[in-house]
Structure 1
Amino acid sequence: MGVKSKAAAAILVLLLFLGSLWLQGGLDYHWDSCLKSYNQVNQPNHLSNSSGAEGALGSLGSPGSPGSLGVDQCPGQTFQVALLHAHLLAAQEHAADVLLQPYLSSWDDLVQFMEALGPMVGLISKEIETKTSIIRQLALMAEEGPEAELHPDSNPVESATTEVGDANEVEAFHHSSAYYSVRSMIRTELAQGLVDFEQQTDSGCRTLLRLHRALLWLKLFLEKLADMAGTGRLRSPSELCREAYQSTLAHHHTWFVRRAAELAFIAMPERGFFYRLVCVQNQEEFSALLSIVVRDLQEVYSRTQGALEEHGMLDLP
């Protein structure tokens, strides 16, 4: 095997290892979409109608209205920023709380966003889907009763693509008070003794904390991308993503994981790709659009942060 082939193989092994660790408390986060080519094909989100997103989407096509993105659908893209915006708004329908079903739907959108960025940045998307699947299945278990079991190998995200599975998932979130919102989930799991403050478990609260940390990283990254301060050179997405990581997720990762993450940032696409991804023409339009999304992410993050902090859950193992 030649030197180049050996180097390529070594990088691939490193990235696969990175993906396996990211959300397990060591790499808790976002690098699965990066070793997959992104297929720019429209795929309707199977949870949008149930989360209130359909109504929110109807108001997005009026540029200038409060909170409007000024766009509806971006033709030819799997990731739709308007749908992400709608899911984030739906998650905020109850004051001081976060509705779990649209919150998880917004993660579906963010996974598509990460996968759009290429193999390096998307290496962890499957781990994020695993985390959202855990909470979704816990909601189904709560709806079905105590005889239901959590099967780690099952994937509710995939099963929900069928009409029946989709309906069951929606019913679980709409009618199960246990997993209707972040606060209801916390109250339920504490009452049932499901949250362990000493060792790792698959509780919904611990799983939510991992997603919560990841959300801060993405929020900060998008915030930096939207920043137009100064008139000099706009810094590269790779540089901004690295900064966002160092101030957020890096604090929860081992030395090896941090070094591996640094390698992954190198393949981040340039700004022009991000413009095309959300159907804008320049940085000014891009910044205006992202500022709305960042505001939504901040609100969801702040509410979740408050709920976890109140119950001493910001450091669950």
Structure 2
Amino acid sequence: MGVKFKACVAIVFVILLFGSMWLYGNLEHHWDTCPIAYRIKNKPLPLTIVNSTDKGVAPLRVCPGQKFQIADLLAHLQAAPVSTNDVLLKPYLASWDELIKFLEALGPMVGLISQEIESKTTIIRDLAQKAEKEAEKKMKDRKRMTQQGDTVIVSPHNKSSNSEMAHSLSFGYTSVRSMIKWELENGLVDFHQQTNSGCRTLLRLHRALLWLENFLQELGKDATEGERLRSPSDLCKETYQRTLAHHHTWFVRKAAEMAFLAMPKRPYFYRLVCVGTQAEATVVLNRVVTAMREVYERNEVALQEHGMLDLP
């Protein structure tokens, strides 16, 4: 009994140790099976035919009694794409807020992962706030210098120019592409060593999004005739191995694989996304995965165009 206890302690220690390193080259989780707060029986979700644009599709159900809402996640993801090739940062980060709730709902140990992800979203938000404050200061300084000059010209045209200048300075972190442009112009991106730039931080979130997209996609697949549905534990392990594992050390990968063994069973995920059957889960998760994939692909192109897919 003593040996088994020590072995368990050692495993938990390894998971905790590498959990604090999650997005850098680390990982950690120990999912609980089914927190009482989420044991909710949901009414069947009406199945609908889903097209690529989601037009005419009924909104997803809001699940009472839990923090994570699949409907909110989908709404933020669908609000993120802008123009033809860009992603708005506010809804993108808001979608991560929901994904953090999703991870936290899988058990107390996974909170270490969600904390690491949350720290990344905080970095980008702090950078955006700082840039906005700097822009406001520059505008005030410019206005003061204009007022102190010998000639002060105030006209609707000048006001419009000032407004445009304020917009360009204050909204460097409006979208992924504007953030990349802003940080490159201000020398904030280092291609040789680790920094807390928004671009590097986005890359870490970008990699994690691919893993979650793959996992939810596999979780949404129905079993073929004569086959059983595979366990979430196996699916999570496999999708991790073909995505995030490539950016992690051997020790982190092994810690992750041990942690996946405690993944909750499928019925728990049904309750979490507010459905009752695998068929309903397929409809809901396919919608979410489609939205995630569009955001991911846009960010992939933006980062690739600027040689940022391998930032240290």
Distance 1:222 1:305 in 2: 19
Q: TM-score, normalised by structure 1?
A: 0.79
Distance in structure 2 (CA, Å) of the matches to 1:125 and 1:108: 9
1:267 corresponds to which letter in structure 2?
A: A
Return 5+ residue gaps in structure 1 as ranges: 42-60, 149-172
- Greater relative CO (CA pairs within 8 A, separation 6+): 2
Structure 1 residues 110 and 175: CA distance shift in structure 2, 3 A: farther
Partner Cα separation in structure 2 for residue 233 and residue 296 of structure 1: 27
Whether the 8 Å CA contact 2:30–2:110 is kept in 1: the answer is yes
Residue equivalent to 2:288: 293
Aligned to 2:210: 216
Instruction: State the TM-score, normalized to the length of structure 2.
Output: 0.80
Deviations 1:290-314 (A, max 9, x none): 0000000000000000000000000
The 5-angstrom pairing of residues 1-317 of structure 1 reads 2-23=2-23, 25-27=24-26, 31=28, 34=31, 40=37, 66=55, 68=57, 70-145=59-134, 176-228=170-222, 230-231=224-225, 232-317=227-312
Q: CA deviation at 1:2?
A: 3.3
CA contact (8 A) 2:63 2:69 kept: yes
Query: What RMSD in Å do the two structures reach over aligned CA positions?
Result: 2.8
Shift, 1:95, TM fit: 2.5
Q: Give the % identical residues.
A: 59
5+ long unaligned stretches in structure 2: 39-45, 138-166
Change in Cα spacing, 1:229 to 1:72, as seen in structure 2 (3 Å) is: closer
Q: Cα 1:299–1:313, aligned 2, differ >3 Å: closer, same or farther? A: same
Instruction: Report the CA distance between 1:11 and its aligned residue.
Output: 2.5
Change (3 A) 1:94 1:72: farther
Q: Which string of whole-angstrom CA distances, capped at 9 and with x for unpartnered residues, describes residues 65-115 of structure 1?
A: 627364231111110000000000111133310000110010010011111
Letter of the 2:201 counterpart = T
Change (3 A) 1:263 1:203: same
Which stretch of structure 1 is more off in the superposition, 275-284 or 4-13? Answer: 4-13
Task: Please state how far the C-alpha of 1:119 moved relative to its aligned partner.
Answer: 3.4
Which structure has the bigger radius of gyration?
Answer: 2
Contact persistence 2:131–2:169 (CA under 8 A): no
CA gap 1:199/1:39 in 2 versus in 1, 3 angstroms: farther
Letter of the aligned partner of 2:6 in structure 1? K
Residues 199/248 of structure 1: CA separation in 2 closer, same or farther (3 Å cut): same
| Aligned partners of 1:32 and 1:125 also within 8 Å | no
Q: Residue 227 of structure 1: SS of its match in structure 2?
A: coil
CA distance in 1, matches of 2:72, 2:180: 27
| Amino acid paired to 2:229 | L
1:32–1:123 CA contact under 8 A, matched in 2: yes
Say whether the 8 Å CA contact 1:33–1:125 is kept in structure 2: no
